[in-house]
Amino acid sequence: MSQEELGKSLNEIIKHRLEKLSMIRKLGYNPYQYVFNRTHSCKSILENYDDLKESVDVSVAGRLMSVRRMGRASFAHIQDQSGRLQIYIQENKVGKTQYKLFSYLDIGDIIGVTGKVFKTKTGETTVFVEKLEILTKNIRPLPVVKEKEGKVFDAFTDKEQRYRQREVDLNVNPHVRDIFVLRSKIIGWTRDFFVEHGYLEVETPILQPVYGGAAARPFKTYYNALDQVYYLRIALEIYLKRLIVGGYEKVFEIGKTFRNEGIDRNHNPEFTLLEFYETYVDYYYMMDFVEKYFKYIASKVGKSTYRFEGHDIDIMKKFNRVKLFDLLNGEIGEDLYKADVAKLRKICDERNIEYKPEWERGKLIDELFKEFVEPKLIQPTFVMDYPVEISPFAKPARDGREGIVERFELFIGGQEFANSFSELNDPLDQRSRMERQKRLKDKGDEEATDIDKDFLVAMEYGMPPTGGVGIGMDRVVMLFTEQKSIRDVIFFPQLRSLE
RNA sequence: GGGCGCAUAGCUCAGUAGGUAGAGCAACGGCCUUUUAAGCCGUGGGUCGCAGGUUCGAUUCCUGCUGCGCUCACCA
């Protein structure tokens, strides 16, 4: 045991379990077994009762979750990944030694049983144990959650403990396990969707000498062998586009990215981003494609409407498409497209929106948009055509509107879900945009990025016309699993370490 | 970072208008061969998050700290 300070009660429980551990060894059993040959899962026994009943020997293993001892016979539930199953063990049936073994078991132990399937008086499918094996002895008490008629008693609910010790949460709160199963499926369906559309899945560097592709503060690290400061990536953009330059026509990556920013219900500093790039298409094409993607996932999940951020979101309905300035002008009551910085500041002042003196046109517009428009975008809505200043990787609008780029963001429930451009492939324009970013950074903008020379060289070789999209997968999972907090769709959300 | 709230047994929670704490479950001992929040009898288990202050006396009041939650800011 470690030297950690334990309460007496916990210490006592652990002491008792260690004693049982040695008693089990004395009985001749290895409490940490190597293998167990299962013939069934808990669920498959429940589902195939008619074929199995009182004829076939089944072997099933799982964690002991409840025990009801009645002298020389006992009932218990074991739980495996598929679900819970009742077992019944009688001293007459298994003999004194194995019943003794059973008497040393605790909730949390992992056991294997073999026997025939029957139904109890009350109709519950149960395995009548003929042979019992201990596979792993538990020595630390698991919270005991009881249930009757759908009511849960003494549920393990402390959020901090649930996140810090997710393994406990997963064991005692089966619905939590279900959420993560659905997460895994959603990621898998996402992969299927892109592969089916001819995309190549790729992996690009997480450790980068120059970070870019988004506006965010990075995590810094140090690369000993190179004697250089490195950064954890904040986006996938840069390297994926270099692969497009390399000749791949459709690529996607699903991977962790890192932003050194606040943690809240909607943000985890380490999060899963999906980005995909396709050649010879623009952001109009990508709008259709993104909508298709969301509908594809919804159809796989099997529902049209999802409860998210307090609203019923209908994914199967046609997504709205609106231009940023149409929305914003409608909300403010003036034409902001033509407004200069002075005018925008005045509007902010009138509406009590704070701004920093160094903010220029694009940033001010973005701020007003976030404040007055975003929260109202509940049903899926593509917002199109953003100011160039806040979109350093997007192509200028082809219709020549000054200061506008071909970019859309998808909003659902007032939250940003996707960000997409007709990707900028003019190397000179790209260079001047990066130089501008660099100037902002030098002036103290912590979210601006350095010039990525390798990327600019790649652009000079020529990137075909390309549409690109980024989608925050954790939010997608939140939407489709109807979770209110990002922490409930990430196994181990970021918490401050103790000590 | 600001505001509000929470922190008591392994789990879920009471409680003390200041006199060092209770319940249910879990644990331990006993009875019990179709139970299912099994039941019955009995027993043990707490530096009341941490550190100070006020007080004869603090788990309770005050201050600071730590952790977590909600919220605002931040997050194209």
Q: Reduced to 3 states, what is the DSSP secondary structure of residue A212?
A: coil
Pair A94, A189 in one domain: no
Distance CA A290, CA A415 (A): 16
Q: What is the pLDDT of residue A499?
A: 63
Pair A269, A207 in one domain: yes
In which element (H, E) is residue A418 found? strand A415-422
Nucleotide with smallest C1' distance to residue A168 CA? B11
Print the domain residue range for A15: 3-142
CB A233 within 8 A of CB A257: yes
Does any domain span residue A355? no
Provide the 8-state DSSP code for A492. S
Q: Is the CB of A86 under 7 A from strand B?
A: yes
Distance CA A59, CA A45 (A): 10
Q: Is the CB of A139 under 7 A from strand B?
A: no
CB A228 within 8 A of CB A202: no
Pair A118, A57 in one domain: yes
Pair A253, A389 in one domain: yes
Distance CA A328, CA A322 (A): 10
Does any domain span residue A267? yes
Distance CA A14, CA A20 (A): 10
Does any domain span residue A329? no
Nucleotide with smallest C1' distance to residue A105 CA? B27
| Confidence category of residue A4, pLDDT binned at 50, 70, 90 | very low
Distance CA A297, CA A313 (A): 14
Q: Is the CB of A426 under 7 A from strand B?
A: no
Q: What is the CATH number of the domain that holds A261?
A: 3.30.930.10
The count of domains in chain A is: 2
Q: What is the CATH number of the domain that holds A25?
A: 2.40.50.140
Domain boundary among A142, A166, A185: A142
CB A496 within 8 A of CB A164: no
The token duo for A103 is 């008497």
Nucleotide with smallest C1' distance to residue A389 CA? B76
| Confidence category of residue A447, pLDDT binned at 50, 70, 90 | confident
Q: Is the CB of A171 under 7 A from strand B?
A: no
* pLDDT, averaged across chain A: 93
Given the structure tokens 């979750």, which residue do they identify?
A65
Pair A137, A184 in one domain: no
Residues 337-366 of A with CB under 7 A from strand B: 354, 366
Distance CA A190, CA A170 (A): 24
Does any domain span residue A269? yes
Distance CA A183, CA A189 (A): 10
Pair A136, A187 in one domain: no
Pair A227, A128 in one domain: no
Pair A68, A122 in one domain: yes
CA-based Rg of chain A, rounded to a whole angstrom? Answer: 29
Does any domain span residue A443? yes
Does any domain span residue A275? yes
Q: Reduced to 3 states, what is the DSSP secondary structure of residue A306?
A: strand
Q: What is the pLDDT of residue A149?
A: 80
Q: Is the CB of A204 under 7 A from strand B?
A: no
Pair A313, A454 in one domain: yes
Pair A61, A184 in one domain: no
Domain boundary among A142, A158, A192: A142
Sequence letter at residue A208: Q
Is the model's pLDDT at A25 over the cut of 90? Answer: yes
Pair A185, A292 in one domain: yes
Distance CA A145, CA A155 (A): 5
Q: Reduced to 3 states, what is the DSSP secondary structure of residue A482?
A: coil
Q: What is the pLDDT of residue A234?
A: 94
Is the model's pLDDT at A8 over the cut of 90? Answer: no
pLDDT tens column, A411-432: 999 999 999 999 999 999 999 9
Does any domain span residue A296? yes
Pair A304, A388 in one domain: yes
CA distances from A300 to A315, A380, A480 (A): 12, 18, 10
Distance CA A204, CA A38 (A): 40
Domain boundary among A121, A142, A163: A142
In which element (H, E) is residue A295 found? helix A283-301
Percentage of chain A beyond pLDDT 70 is 99
Distance CA A499, CA A489 (A): 26
**Residue closest to A110 by CA, chosen among A166, A31, A13, A39:** A31
Bases of chain B with protein Cβ within 7 A = 1, 9-13, 24-28, 31-39, 44-47, 66-76
Distance CA A250, CA A423 (A): 14
Residues 371-410 of A with CB under 7 A from strand B: 390-393, 409
Q: What is the pLDDT of residue A2?
A: 34
Is the model's pLDDT at A250 over the cut of 60? Answer: yes
Does any domain span residue A212? yes
Residues 151-170 of A with CB under 7 A from strand B: 153-161, 163
